[in-house]
Chain A
Amino acid sequence: MLKTRIIPCLDVKDGRVVKGVNFKGLVDAGDPVEAAIAYDAAGADELCFLDIAATLENRGTMFDVVRRTAEACFMPLTVGGGVRSALDVRALLLAGADKVSFNSAAVANPDCINEAANKFGAQCIVVAVDAKTVAPGEWQIFTHGGTRPTGIDAVEFARDMVSRGAGEILLTSMDKDGTKSGYNLPLTRAISNAVDVPVIASGGVGTLDHLVEGVTEGGANAVLAASIFHFGTYTIGEAKAHMAAAGIPMRLT
């Protein structure tokens, strides 16, 4: 049986983890490779790196981080941030990423998803959907860190991205992100029902029950969280045990 994935996400800027990662056994809390090794050992199912200041001159730093991570961790790695074209995808895949996540480029130029999926296969193309509630049961795509509305319906957008070749949707609720009040479950459920590719729930996790709800109520295939793991509030093992106890199939070894 396929297991539900837990994915810790690291925000990376200029080759360092932003806000740091603060848990036992870590030599350098700001080094993304060190953090990746720690999560690998802890049994994370996948890792996600988000290059939050992806400028042209900083790209090399991120490639180096990805390359060094792939040398030390033999687990799946998704990289996002500043990805605009099939060329970017190729460079990240060659460096050692397994999946590459598009965000604002998918809104500005949706054809880049067709091109990347045709070249590299849908299985490695993730589209990060950042959505905000505009009315009850209605969500729109926002860009620029949730500050700029686009008028695009989030559910329609997700459907369109999958029809263009996205193999996975990384769904972040901009209302919930950083609140620790749980995922936006109606949004997660709406997107999950609308597409036939896996959906990763993101934004708002504060407790282990939130992870459970993301799957049981939101219908997510994977749950992504950052701070609850980085700051050692919960370990990956505790999260998996909690989800398994709630009846969700987890990889516990």
Chain B
Amino acid sequence: MTCVIVDYGSGNLHSAQKSFERMSREINGPRIVVSGDADVVAGAERIVLPGVGAFADCQAGLMAVDGMVDALRERVQAGTPFMGICVGMQLLATRGLEFGETSGLDWIAGDVTALRPSDETLKVPHMGWNELRLNRSHVLFEGVEQGAHAYFVHSFHMAPADEADVIATVDYGEPVTACVGRDNIVGTQFHPEKSQKTGLTVIGNFLRWAP
């Protein structure tokens, strides 16, 4: 069993790798592999797509890896558990509206738009610890309490077209999408690899998840 963390030139791969390794050891889970090779992803039993920076940059980085998007799509259609983190989650959307319009993977219909809190005292980026509001139960949040804190750092957010795809939100002047999910796909706007115990619990749940 391997869980592949996709390396496409974006993201804090070291932190992500270490947190997944730590939880995999605890639960006797899959081997964690960091790879930018589409063939490795094609054989993955679990896939994590991290992402830090701008939507368009990340999308371009992902497209630039030969065969990667096809490999990801094939695995996800075959039912492989998939988790996107931060911009890796935003890439699941139909399109991103950061610096012009960029197409996303369109696995979860919706747009990625700029955070513009109506309360002018709220700063952007939305940076720090915020309380998760779980809209519905999901394996990813087993053992995570309503109101648990997760670490966020982002200026854009995803607005799914179908409310049912929103698993959790946080309040930042308005409800901001914190976690999306559909079938075997999940995505977190927060950084589980930086969210101490809550984040590690989410990672462990993902590594055990059998959708």
Chain A interface residues toward B at CB < 8 A = 1-5, 40, 45-46, 67, 70-71, 74-76, 93-99, 118-124, 167-168, 196-199, 221-222, 251, 253
Contact = CB atoms under 8 A, between A and B. Distances in A.
B129 A168 contact: no
Contact of B125 (A40, A45, A198, A222): A198
A119 B53 contact: yes
17 contacts: A46-B128, A70-B15, A71-B18, A76-B151, A76-B191, A76-B194, A94-B12, A96-B14, A98-B194, A123-B155, A196-B124, A197-B123, A197-B124, A199-B123, A221-B123, A221-B128, A222-B128
Interface residues of B, number: 38
A239 to B, nearest CB: 15
Contacts of B57: 119, 121
Nearest to B51: A121
A67 B14 contact: yes
Interface in B160-208: 170-172, 191, 193-196, 199-200
A3 B19 CA distance: 23
A121 B14 contact: no
A67 B17 CA distance: 12
A251 B129 contact: yes
A67 B94 CA distance: 35
A2 B128 contact: yes
B148 A253 contact: yes
A29 B55 CA distance: 42
B31 interface: no
A45 B130 CA distance: 11
B126 interface: yes
Given A45-B128, A96-B15, A121-B53, 4 more contacts: A5-B129, A74-B194, A75-B196, A253-B148
B130 A1 contact: yes
B52 interface: yes
Contacts of A199: 123
Interface in B1-51: 12-15, 18-19, 22
Nearest to B176: A2
Contacts of B52: 93, 120-121, 123-124
Given A1-B130, A98-B194, A168 B18 contact: no
A7 B53 CA distance: 23
Contact of A74 (B19, B126, B127, B149): B19
B125 A167 contact: yes
A196 B53 CA distance: 19
A98 B129 contact: no
B75 interface: no
Given A98-B12, A121-B52, A2 B126 contact: yes
B130 A74 contact: no
B54 interface: yes
B187 to A, nearest CB: 17
A167 to B, nearest CB: 5
B199 A2 contact: no
Top-8 shortest CB links A-B: A121-B53, A96-B14, A251-B129, A123-B153, A3-B129, A198-B123, A251-B149, A71-B18
Nearest to A3: B129
A227 to B, nearest CB: 23
A67 B13 CA distance: 11
A95 B14 contact: yes
Contacts of B194: 74-76, 98
B14 A197 contact: no
A88 to B, nearest CB: 15
